[in-house]
């Protein structure tokens, strides 16, 4: 599918989804069905990038649950890849289709080539599609990330040592280019406005992050220009969803066919 067509379809989808979601929320009818729909078709609102050994069973797990509880569809990979492994197509797709990415920058983040590949792709999406990017400085200093010092410096040095041991000149050159992309990405993300865990109670910090993401996601939709001719369609869908006589959710199937349906 042509990228421009895909982009337009995604804008239209989220435009309709956002307004239906807000209406359902106002009627206290918002359940898990819209969230499940997004997950089934592999479209996520938020992608979580994190180092599993640091935060998988703590902070990131709590943040993931809080986002889902707020009905924000969130991708969290439940499997680790061996250091040096290539980024899976599933992860690439999740990053490219997400509206926002949250990067949990922890002590050992840069030791994972997988995390660094995610970081590079996320920042590319920020430039190409204006994806929202929120760095979380989880007990690390931005200056250490920017200058590759402390654990970040150690990790990059280890990646370079691995490169120097390569006997294949072509692979060695490719890996050198990859390391350069990683260091550039670390410098870029350290310069972004982020959120700091140091000195914060985790529960309050997670709540603050979720509120900020929710606000920014809905602002992103509200900033879009009103699409010509959408008013009647939205009004029809709203009236179809609600039975005025019983104030209850109506079951059924809504079919949208062709450009006329859009």
Tokens 């492994």 correspond to: 85
Kindly state the DSSP code that residue 32 receives in the 8-state scheme: S
Q: How many CB atoms lie within 10 A of CB 232?
A: 8
* Pairwise CA distance, residues 110 & 119, whole Å: 10
Sign of the torsion formed by the C-alpha atoms of 211, 214, 217 and 218: negative
> Positive or negative, the Cα torsion across 128, 49, 137, 110?
negative
Which position among 118, 141, 180, 202 bears the catalytic label?
A: 118
Is the distance from CB of 240 to CB of 250 less than 8 angstroms? yes
Is 92 part of the annotated catalytic residue set? no
Q: In whole angstroms, what is the distance from residue 109 CA to residue 155 CA?
A: 9
Catalytic residues: 118
């Amino acid at each position: 599918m042509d990228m421009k067509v895909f982009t337009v379809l995604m804008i239209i989808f989220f435009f309709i989804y956002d307004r239906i979601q807000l209406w359902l929320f106002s009627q206290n009818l918002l359940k898990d069905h819209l969230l499940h729909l997004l997950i089934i078709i592999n479209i996520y609102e938020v992608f979580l990038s994190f180092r599993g050994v640091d935060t998988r069973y703590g902070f990131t797990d709590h943040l993931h649950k809080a986002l889902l509880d707020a009905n924000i569809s969130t991708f969290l990979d439940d499997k680790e890849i061996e250091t040096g492994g290539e980024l899976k197509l599933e992860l690439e797709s999740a990053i490219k289709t997400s509206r926002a990415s949250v990067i949990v920058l922890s002590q050992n983040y840069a030791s994972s080539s997988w995390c660094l590949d995610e970081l590079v792709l996320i920042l590319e999406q920020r430039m190409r599609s204006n994806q929202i990017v929120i760095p979380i400085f989880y007990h690390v200093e931005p200056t250490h990330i920017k200058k590759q010092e402390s654990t970040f410096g150690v990790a990059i040095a280890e990646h370079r040592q691995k490169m120097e041991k390569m006997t294949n000149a072509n692979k060695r050159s490719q890996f050198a280019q990859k390391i350069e992309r990683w260091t550039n990405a670390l410098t870029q993300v350290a310069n972004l406005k982020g959120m700091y865990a140091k000195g914060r109670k985790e529960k309050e910090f997670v709540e603050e992050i979720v509120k900020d993401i929710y606000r920014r996601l809905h602002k992103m939709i509200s900033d879009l220009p009103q699409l010509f001719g959408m008013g009647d369609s939205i009004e029809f869908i709203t009236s179809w969803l609600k039975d005025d006589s019983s104030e209850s959710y109506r079951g059924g199937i809504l079919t949208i066919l062709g450009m006329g349906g859009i």
